[in-house]
Amino acid sequence: GTGAPPSDLEVVVPQLRVLMNVTGTQWNPVKNLTIDGVTFKAARYTYMDPHGVPSAGDWALDRESALFIQGTEGVKVQNSVFERLDGNALMISGYNRHTTVQDNDFSFIGGNAIVSWGYTNETENSGFPYYTPRTNFPDAGVDGTDGNHPLYNNILGNSAREVGLYEK
C-alpha cells in the first residue's frame, strides 16, 4: 500500500549468526545435553561469510548456524522450532557422537536445515581456515582418520520446508 505503516508494526533486524553455541572438544566433550522445545528465530544471513569446501567439489559451505554443536557426546535436540533463520539452522560440526535430532520443525531457512560436517586432518601448513593443526598430520593430502567428524548420529522425524531461500 501507499499509506503510513501500521502503528503496531514490529521490525526485526537479526544481528547474531549463532543463537546457541554448544562447543566442547574431542578430548573434553559436552555430554548428555538435551535441548527440548526451544524456538530458534531470526538469525542473520551468513552467505557472505567465509566458506569451506567439504568435498573438493564445486560447492562451499559456511561453518556456522543458529544452533552450533561441536565436540559433543549424547546431545539431543528435540521438539524445537527453527524458523526465519537466514543462514543454516543446525550444524553438527567436527567431533560429535550419538547426537539425536528428532521431531523438530524447520521453516523459512536461508541455508540448510541440518548440516553434519567433520574436519579432515590436513597437512601441517595447509592454511585451511577451520582446521586446528595437530601433531599427527600426514605428509600430504587429506586424512579423516583422527575422528574429528560426526559418527553414530540419528536424524529422525523432523519436518523441513522453505529451505535454501538464499543458498542452495
Per-residue pLDDT at 24 exceeds 60: yes
Residue 98 is predicted with a pLDDT of 98
Residue that wins the pLDDT comparison between 16 and 141: 16
Q: Which three cell numbers stand for residue 84?
A: 526465519
Residue that wins the pLDDT comparison between 141 and 2: 2
117, 70 Cβ separation under 8 angstroms: no
Distance CA 167, CA 86 (A): 9
pTM attached to this predicted model = 0.82
Q: Considering only CA atoms, which of 50, 102, 62, 69 is closest in space to residue 86?
A: 62
Per-residue pLDDT at 48 exceeds 90: no
Q: What is the pLDDT of residues 97-146, one digit of tens each?
A: 999 999 999 999 999 999 998 887 655 544 444 445 554 454 545 666 77
Specify the range with the lowest mean pLDDT, choosing from 8-22, 80-94, 104-118, 122-136.
122-136
Per-residue pLDDT at 26 exceeds 60: yes
Residue 143 is predicted with a pLDDT of 63
Q: How confident is the model at residue 147 (pLDDT cuts 50, 70, 90)?
A: confident
What would the DSSP string read from start to end of 42-63?
-PPP-TTS--B-SSSSS--B-S
Distance CA 157, CA 100 (A): 11
Q: What percent of the chain has pLDDT over 90?
A: 49
Q: Where are the beta strands (DSSP E) in 10-141?
A: 20-23, 30-31, 34-36, 39-41, 67-73, 76-78, 81-85, 90-97, 100-102, 105-109, 114-117
Specify the range with the lowest mean pLDDT, choosing from 8-12, 80-84, 114-118, 144-148.
144-148
